Amino acid sequence: MAGDFIRVRCNDCENEQIVFGNASTTVNCAVCGTTLATPTGGKAEIPHEVVETVDAR
């Protein structure tokens, strides 16, 4: 999961958003502003529901 793109569902508003697994900045929900991912120096901490890992297109 670390270097992949991950589809995450916001626990507050149910919005689904794609986040980079190694996010180096805080990622907020585009709808309600809740923090979806927090950088940790490696794999991002994602305290919300991970829906799927997005495959390369």
- Residues of the binding site for Zn(2+): 10, 13, 29, 32
Nearest to 6 by CA among 39, 42, 48, 35: 48
Annotated binding site: 10, 13, 29, 32
5 and 53 in contact (C-beta within 8 Å)? yes
